[in-house]
């Protein structure tokens, strides 16, 4: 049995993430926690996040979780979801400019208006831009559910694992060593989403 | 290939049962909410909306358990509405497994509520639900009504939709119901849908009036809706969600199959 820690710093609906992980991994210990020690001792980390980037950074600081996130992101299988992808970057345009965790080099940018509805909300296609164990048994261009107004722009194109088009092509998944992070919500993306979570809990990292 | 238009079956739940009536009267039973939600998930629904029309506090606890039960078995977005008045109500529903919470009449009595909720929980999970009724044909004009369409507020529906969604702390989505069309099965109020969809920057869900599959396509193509919501055409076995998607695709609309 392995332990999977879902980082709960009070931002957004982490219950959905917990229910989905428990569903795909019924024999593992799934912990919803803001305890740095429990996170540090877990075998795998899921790092979700919803709402605004400024509030998320504030909450991570208030819960004393910045250091443990930074170390875990380099040490064990680590899955970022939604804001949990954006927070890994250097800087976001949101909230008049917010610094992120600077684990990944790059910025978080607001979608251009282009007569499109913002937030980008709903089921869009995800194009695989690299082979990766987390795409196992998931078709190229399968649809995943997203809801976001900002997207990530990485400095290093070699970490892009998936892209989506919404007026522009943007990066919706990145992969680097033991890290994988997605803009969409696998916990809300039915069969393909559950497959991605299954791939994560089985991933060597 | 880009963003798909969404089909959202709606469960109106009273005292633990899915019900549907014509303009809130002649209520018919349509089954157990958890079973119904699972069926729609299997058929390919893009989201599920759960509207609690129970008045009592005991009923409220039943609703929370049902939301928990649905969220454990259905891994698509779940919106819960009905009786949401304050931050604690939102917190309880999100903890039960809802992904979005719809706020309706409480936003009218406290116009700052939406901003407060979005600041705390994020715009992505706050939906402004608007029940509108036509008050003039020329010029076209709709106003917000409460209490199942019986009480007028005098608030212009299009202006209200803009006000509730603008800025960083506005609602992330509009659930727009025509009280004139709800339950009548003659199609959406397309003028209303188009007026609101053109006026706001966020996605709009058209609701009220679907009686056949062509109505769903009209909501998107003529109304400009990003998502279409229907209840009775799915509840009583007239059509499946899968059939609805095929029909929309035939009309050139991008859907998730």
Q: Distance of CA A195 to CAs A139, A187, A191, B42, B78, Å?
A: 11, 10, 6, 16, 20
d(CA A180, CA A178): 7
Handedness of CA B8, B2, B114, B148 (dihedral sign): negative
* Residue numbers in A near B161 (CB within 8 A): none
Residue in B closest to A164 by C-alpha? B2
Residue in B closest to A167 by C-alpha? B2
Mean pLDDT to the nearest integer, B48-69: 85
Q: Considering only B44-48, B151-155, B189-193, B196-200, which range has the smallest mean pLDDT? A: B151-155
Mutate to test the interface with B, among A95, A111, A117 (most CBs of B within 10 A): A117
Q: Distance of CA B98 to CAs A119, A134, A175, B115, B210, Å?
A: 19, 26, 29, 19, 25
- Pairwise CB contact (< 8 Å): A15 & B122: no
- Residues B179/B130, Cβ–Cβ less than 8 Å: no
Residues of A noted as catalytic: 82, 185, 187
Q: Report pLDDT digits (tens) over A80-119.
A: 999 999 999 999 998 889 999 999 999 999 998 878 999 9
- Residues A39/A71, Cβ–Cβ less than 8 Å: no
Residue in A closest to B227 by C-alpha? A122
Mean pLDDT to the nearest integer, B235-247: 95
Share of chain A above pLDDT 70, in %: 100
pLDDT of residue B95: 87
Mean pLDDT to the nearest integer, A70-85: 97
- Pairwise CB contact (< 8 Å): B226 & A121: yes
Q: Which of A201, A203, A205 has its CA nearest to residue A3?
A: A201
CA distance A148 to chain B (A): 7
pLDDT of residue B126: 96
d(CA B114, CA B144): 16
Instruction: Report the residue from B1, B4, B41 with minimal CB separation from A122.
Output: B4
CA distance B2 to chain A (A): 6
pLDDT of residue B21: 63
d(CA A112, CA A52): 18
Instruction: Please tell me what DSSP assigns to residue A111.
Output: P
Would you call B224 an interface residue with chain A, using a CB distance cutoff of 8 Å? no
- Pairwise CB contact (< 8 Å): A143 & B202: no
CA distance A82 to chain B (A): 11
E strand residue ranges, chain A: 3-7, 29-33, 44-47, 78-81, 91-92, 98-99, 106-110, 120-128, 142-148, 150-154, 160-166, 168-176, 179-182
Classify B105 in phi/psi space as left (phi over 0), alpha (psi -120 to 50) or beta.
alpha
- Pairwise CB contact (< 8 Å): B1 & A147: no
- Give the A:B interface size as CB pairs under 8 Å: 103
Mutate to test the interface with B, among A145, A150, A163, A197 (most CBs of B within 10 A): A145
Residue in A closest to B99 by C-alpha? A13
Q: Which of B202, B201, B195 has its CA nearest to residue B172?
A: B202
Instruction: Report the residue from A55, A166, A193 with minimal CB separation from B2.
Output: A166
Instruction: Report the residue from A23, A147, A166 with minimal CB separation from B124.
Output: A147
Is 60 exceeded by the pLDDT of residue B22? Answer: no
Q: What is the radius of gyration, based on Cα positions, of chain B?
A: 17
Provide the β-strand partners of residue A58: none
Residue B162: CB atoms within 10 Å: 16
User: What's the CA dihedral at B229, B233, B234, B237 to 10 degrees?
Assistant: 180
Is 90 exceeded by the pLDDT of residue A123? Answer: yes
Q: Distance of CA B180 to CAs B15, B68, B154, B188, Å?
A: 25, 33, 16, 9
- Residues B101/B126, Cβ–Cβ less than 8 Å: yes
Residues of B noted as catalytic: 12, 131
Write phi, then psi, for A154 (nearest 5 degrees).
Answer: -80, 155
Would you call B147 an interface residue with chain A, using a CB distance cutoff of 8 Å? no
Mutate to test the interface with A, among B38, B77, B98, B227 (most CBs of A within 10 A): B77
Mean pLDDT to the nearest integer, A48-77: 94
pLDDT of residue A42: 98
Confidence of residue A14 (pLDDT cuts 50, 70, 90): confident
- Pairwise CB contact (< 8 Å): B1 & A119: no
How long, in residues, is chain A? 205
Mean model confidence pLDDT for chain A: 95
Handedness of CA B150, B154, B157, B161 (dihedral sign): negative
- Pairwise CB contact (< 8 Å): A19 & B71: yes
- Pairwise CB contact (< 8 Å): A12 & B121: yes
Q: Distance of CA B154 to CAs A182, B23, B141, B144, Å?
A: 44, 20, 11, 7
Going by C-beta distance under 8 Å and a sequence separation of 6 or more, which residues neighbour residue B121?
Answer: A12, A50, A51, B87, B90, B91, B94, B101
Classify B128 in phi/psi space as left (phi over 0), alpha (psi -120 to 50) or beta.
beta
Instruction: Report the residue from A51, A118, A194 with minimal CB separation from B122.
Output: A51
Provide the β-strand partners of residue B25: B22
pLDDT of residue B24: 58
- Residue B19's SS3 state is strand
pLDDT of residue B148: 72
Residue ranges in chain B assigned as alpha helix (H):
33-43, 57-73, 87-96, 105-109, 113-121, 157-165, 190-199, 213-221, 232-235, 241-250
Mean pLDDT to the nearest integer, B135-164: 93
Mean model confidence pLDDT for chain B: 92
pLDDT of residue A22: 96
pTM of the model: 0.95
Burial of residue B78, with CB atoms counted within 10 A of its CB: 0-12 exposed, 13-18 middle, 19 or more buried = buried
Instruction: Report the residue from B1, B173, B204 with minimal CB separation from A141.
Output: B1
Is 80 exceeded by the pLDDT of residue B162? Answer: yes
pLDDT of residue B90: 93
d(CA A48, CA B221): 35
CA distance B150 to chain A (A): 32
Q: Report pLDDT digits (tens) over A162-205.
A: 999 999 999 999 999 999 999 999 999 999 999 999 999 999 98
Confidence of residue B217 (pLDDT cuts 50, 70, 90): very high
pLDDT of residue B38: 96
Burial of residue B139, with CB atoms counted within 10 A of its CB: 0-12 exposed, 13-18 middle, 19 or more buried = exposed
Q: Which of A193, A154, A199 has its CA nearest to residue A174?
A: A154
pLDDT of residue A6: 97
Confidence of residue B23 (pLDDT cuts 50, 70, 90): low
- Pairwise CB contact (< 8 Å): A148 & B6: no
Q: Report pLDDT digits (tens) over B85-111.
A: 999 999 899 989 899 999 998 999 999
């Amino acid at each position: 049995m392995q332990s999977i820690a879902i980082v709960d710093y009070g931002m957004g609906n982490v219950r959905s993430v917990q229910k989905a992980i428990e569903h795909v991994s019924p024999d593992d210990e799934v912990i919803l926690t803001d305890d740095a020690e429990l996170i540090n001792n877990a075998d795998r980390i899921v790092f979700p996040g919803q709402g605004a980037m400024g509030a998320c950074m504030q909450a991570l600081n208030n819960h004393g979780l910045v250091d443990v996130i930074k170390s875990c992101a380099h040490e064990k299988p680590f899955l970022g979801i939604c804001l949990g992808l954006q927070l890994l970057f250097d800087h976001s345009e949101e909230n008049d400019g917010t610094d992120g965790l600077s684990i990944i080099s790059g910025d978080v940018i607001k979608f251009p208006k282009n007569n499109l509805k913002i937030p980008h909300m709903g089921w869009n296609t995800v194009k695989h831009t690299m082979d990766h164990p987390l795409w196992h048994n998931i078709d190229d261009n399968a649809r995943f559910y997203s809801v976001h107004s900002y997207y990530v722009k990485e400095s290093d194109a070699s970490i892009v694992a998936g892209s989506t088009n919404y007026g522009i092509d943007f990066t919706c998944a990145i992969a680097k060593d033991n890290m994988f992070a997605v803009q969409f919500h696998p916990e809300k993306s039915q069969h393909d989403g559950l497959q991605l979570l299954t791939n994560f809990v089985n991933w060597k990292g | 290939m880009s963003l798909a238009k969404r089909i959202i079956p709606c469960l109106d739940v009273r005292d633990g049962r899915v019900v549907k009536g014509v303009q809130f009267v002649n209520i018919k039973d349509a089954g157990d909410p958890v079973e119904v939600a699972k069926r729609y998930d299997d058929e390919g629904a893009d989201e599920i909306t759960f509207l609690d029309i129970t008045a009592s506090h005991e009923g409220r606890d039943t609703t929370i358990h049902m939301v928990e039960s649905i969220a454990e078995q259905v891994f698509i977005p779940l919106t819960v509405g009905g009786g949401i008045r304050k931050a604690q109500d939102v917190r309880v529903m999100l903890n039960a497994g809802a992904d979005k919470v719809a706020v309706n009449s409480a936003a009218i009595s406290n116009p700052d509520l939406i901003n407060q909720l979005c600041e705390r929980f994020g715009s992505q999970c706050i939906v402004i639900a608007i029940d509108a009724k036509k008050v003039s044909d020329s010029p076209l004009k709709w106003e917000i009504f409460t209490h199942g369409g019986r009480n007028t507020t005098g608030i212009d529906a299009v202006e209200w939709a803009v006000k509730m969604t603008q800025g960083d702390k506005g609602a992330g989505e509009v659930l727009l119901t025509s009280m004139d069309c709800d339950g009548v099965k003659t199609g959406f109020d397309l003028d209303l849908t188009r007026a609101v969809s053109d006026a706001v920057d966020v996605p709009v869900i058209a609701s009220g009036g679907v009686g056949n599959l062509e109505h769903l396509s009209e909501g998107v193509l003529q109304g400009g809706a990003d998502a279409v919501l229907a209840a009775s055409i799915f509840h009583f076995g007239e059509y499946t969600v899968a059939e609805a998607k095929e029909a929309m695709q035939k009309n050139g609309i991008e859907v998730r199959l």
